[in-house]
Amino acid sequence: MTAQELRLKFLNFFESKGHAIIPSASLVPNETDASTLFTTAGMHPLVPYLLGAEHPGGKRVANVQKCVRTGDIDDVGDNRHLTFFEMMGNWSFGDYFKKEAISWSFEFLTDKEKGLGLDPKRLYVTVFKGEDGIPRDEEAISIWKETFQKAGMDVAVAGEDGIVQGDVRIIPLGKDDNFWIAGATGPCGGDTEMFYDTRPEEGKLEGNFSELVDTFRLIEVWNDVFMEFNKTAEGKYEKLAKPNVDTGMGVERTLMVLGGQYTVFETELFRPLFEKISEISKNGYQDSEETKKSFRIIADHIRAAVFMISDGVIPSNTERGYVLRRLIRRAVRYGKLVCMNENFTKELARIVVDSFKEFYAELSENEERIFEELEKEENKFRKTLENGLNSGCRYLGKTGVRFVSVLWIPCRIDFGISQGERYRSRRKRLPGRAREASGIIQDRFGRDVQGRLAGERRGDEEAPHGHPSASGGSQEGSG
């Protein structure tokens, strides 16, 4: 199944269930929303309707939302983190609730004609086990038992130890795993997450559930959040008059599961980018762990940059523009590590536009601006590198520190393996003032800019849950 086929199948399925299909919102939040720099989840643009406002599409809507999370940017390159991703979702604003949400999720996942045709015997689900005075979600457990039974499966519920064995398919977990809230207060509730056994050939699935997830044998494919409480400033959980449903399902991760692949980077969404990177660099994706990491970072960051520029973000030294500049320069830096010594961002961007324009028409409309901004930023960065990277990092006194912090050379972030190590050891020997200044990038922008990414709210140290694991930032991620 292609990405486009998956998107359309999801939307057609929920349209048949009475949902209005709405377009993806911009990656740049509405100007009245100062909580984050980017749209970080499918529910983000829909918060006003989850809080009670009337949606013009009615009480049931579904879409595929483009998202950006950069809180884990330094982890991109492993097998599970992405900066840009797509989140499919369906919502109920005070209409249907747990029974419909769970049964439709199961139907879409397992039905061979209307849905994805996944094997129900390889599905495992988590539910909220109860905590802080909120009872265990017995309703969700009962619905899941009934749903599995209709598929010919008599399933059991795991105990407090979370051990999967025998017929156990339902695992109750605490607030850290199965409870969602948008902030310190407001609508919230338990959720149910669906996991798929991706390696049945290894034998019967047995063991601690969390450990099985950590081995990536169990991959989360969907998350249904049941907003039935309102948390007050006093910390009380009051029942909402009209509960809501908020779901998230990552395109990249779902394609990975459908294709029997171990990482999202093996899917069709990345293959053409890797082929072009290989052609330009004369290196193979599988040549080494270092080349594999570089290929992943370059492809991920160019994808994110293309969509950010399309939605009006321009490279700069502040806020969104700074994040975009960092992504582009990080991609170029890793390009140099695999011998991509000539401009390449425009060529890769063209592949991204061609891959996505059928679903996101704005990419075709804005492609000239996308190419122009990428080319301009890459030229600027390459010139900076050529004119003084080596000398700037050799002498980290007043001039060197200014060179790093003002021109945004990713000295702390991505010098490359050997150069980065030399920088870190050299920084320890700097005089106090220079050492302090050389941390400007992390302190000023790590806290003031990055702290407002990946769902983190301005002035808030902790990002709301926002079910990233189902689709986003931390993607096999997903998020």
Are 140 and 128 a contacting pair, CB within 8 Å? yes
pLDDT value at 441 more than 70: no
- Any idea what DSSP says for residue 431? -
State pLDDT tens for residues 194-214. 999 999 999 999 999 999 999
The residue type of 204 is K
Task: Please tell me the distance from the alpha carbon of residue 83 to that of residue 474, in angstroms, as a whole number.
Answer: 8
220 vs 394, higher pLDDT: 220
Are 250 and 234 a contacting pair, CB within 8 Å? no
pTM of the model: 0.83
DSSP output for 335-366: HHHTT--S--HHHHHHHHHHHHTTT-THHHHT
pLDDT value at 389 more than 60: no
CA distances to 9, 85, 86, 333 from 25, in Å: 20, 13, 11, 31
pLDDT value at 449 more than 60: no
Q: What is the pLDDT of residue 421?
A: 36
Q: Mean per-residue pLDDT for 99-124? A: 98
State pLDDT tens for residues 69-79. 988 788 898 87
Collapsed DSSP state (helix, strand, coil) of residue 55: coil
Q: Mean per-residue pLDDT for 243-256? A: 96
77 vs 417, higher pLDDT: 77
Task: Please tell me the distance from the alpha carbon of residue 147 to that of residue 154, in angstroms, as a whole number.
Answer: 10
CA distances to 190, 418, 423 from 389, in Å: 51, 14, 12
Average pLDDT value over all residues in the chain? 84
Retrieve residue 318's tokens: 């502040």
Q: H helices within 151-288, ranges in order? A: 175-178, 209-214, 251-258, 271-281
State pLDDT tens for residues 309-350. 999 999 999 899 999 999 999 999 999 999 999 999 999 999
Q: What is the pLDDT of residue 32?
A: 64
**Lowest-pLDDT range, 184-188, 209-213, 277-281, 426-430?**
426-430
84 vs 407, higher pLDDT: 84
pLDDT value at 405 more than 50: no
User: Angle at which helices 319-337 and 367-394 pack, to 10 degrees?
Assistant: 70
**Lowest-pLDDT range, 29-33, 71-75, 160-164, 393-397?**
393-397
23 vs 452, higher pLDDT: 23
Q: What is the pLDDT of residue 80?
A: 79
Sequence-distant (6+) residues with CB within 8 A of 244 are 50, 91, 92, 93, 94, 187, 227
pLDDT value at 436 more than 80: no
233 vs 150, higher pLDDT: 150
Q: How far apart are the first and last CA of the chain?
A: 20
Are 267 and 256 a contacting pair, CB within 8 Å? yes
Task: Please tell me the distance from the alpha carbon of residue 427 to that of residue 342, in angstroms, as a whole number.
Answer: 30
Highest mean pLDDT among 64-73, 249-258, 385-394, 432-441: 249-258
Task: Please tell me the distance from the alpha carbon of residue 366 to that of residue 359, in angstroms, as a whole number.
Answer: 14
pLDDT value at 419 more than 80: no
Are 295 and 328 a contacting pair, CB within 8 Å? no
